[in-house]
Amino acid sequence: MPEKKISIIGLPASGKTTYIAALWALMLNNSPHCSLLLNSLKSGNQQYLNKISEAWLSFSEIGRTFLAKDVGEVVMNLQYKDSQKVAVLNIPDFFGELFDAHFKDREWTEDYLDLMKSSRQLILFVDPYHENNIARTIMDERQILEQYADLENVMEESAEQKQRGTEENKESGKVDTKESKPPLANAKIYQHINSSNQVKLVEILQYLLFSLSRAEPFKIAIVVSKWDKVMENFPNKRPDEVVKRNLPLLYQFLNCNASDLIFKFFGVSAQGVDYHNTDGLDEFVKMLPEDRVNIFDGVNYSKDIATPITWLLE
């Protein structure tokens, strides 16, 4: 049987780096709570992987000390502990800038297209607490639309006033020496970064379905990161319910394309606690690193950081 290839995708600050840091540390230390081993690092910056895993082990925030070009693409050959079964894990972009650029520029590179052609299994990371993922009401959206509408109206009125002034000056023979000022100078102008993350994620998946063969469905593990925070705020919620509430467009897209997408939701807490929560941190410092991990598939909890990967390999 040919080896399966899994790609990790997600926008900036969605939890990918913390997850990889925990996975790398636990595989290298042969943790009993990790069902996979590192067979080899096919490509990638091992110095960076060691650095982020050390930060994870020491309860330090994983800062961006490397540039994207210095980290590059990472490819790991993984192996089950109890068999010779091998899989390839590919992280094309740690920082998520590649996927953000896909939305902004509306194009893919040939290398990325080739990678997607060879990967029928994906791990898609979402952060439910990202400001672009927090559920908003119709009134919230109305205020945003009104702001852009106001800007458009002001621009139109300004143009009309300028035209009237020009015509009046021509009739009177006066020369207008006043410097025109841009209307609504402090107004918020739309940029792609302001778009909802769920719109960007749906675009990523639409590109896949449009560009690649549908002879066999894509299998996607949707990882809802910061699950420790979700458990604290919504103790009875399942990962799919969180996505349905905070990213309804993504949730609807997945379900409407169920013939082409096999998907499962996972709540993942790779670090176990908010590092800014000093009260909770004292308790976690006493734990073994692997005991901080929590994975919830909607039914059962697990300490195995590789759970989303092993589901994809089933």
Mean local confidence (pLDDT), 27-47: 92
Mean local confidence (pLDDT), 140-169: 57
Mean local confidence (pLDDT), 17-46: 93
Structure tokens at 160: 């009309």
Which pLDDT score is estimated for 171? Answer: 59
Mean local confidence (pLDDT), 199-210: 89
Structure tokens at 271: 């670090």
Instruction: Among 62-66, 82-86, 241-245, name the one with the lowest average pLDDT.
Output: 62-66
Mean local confidence (pLDDT), 141-155: 56
Q: How would residue 8 be classed by pLDDT, with cut points 50, 70 and 90?
A: very high
Instruction: Among 48-52, 144-148, 200-204, 235-239, name the one with the lowest average pLDDT.
Output: 144-148
Task: Dump pLDDT digits (tens) for 90-116.
Answer: 998 777 777 887 788 878 888 888 888
* Most confident among 59-73, 162-176, 207-221 (mean pLDDT): 207-221
Structure tokens at 284: 């976690």
Which pLDDT score is estimated for 181? Answer: 47
CA 248/CA 241 separation, integer angstroms:
10
Query: Which residue spans within 207-257 are E strands per DSSP?
Result: 218-224
CA distances from 163 to 55, 182, 183, 205, 257 (A): 61, 15, 15, 47, 52
For residue 153, pLDDT beyond 70? no
Closest C-alpha among 200, 188, 207, 206 to residue 133:
200
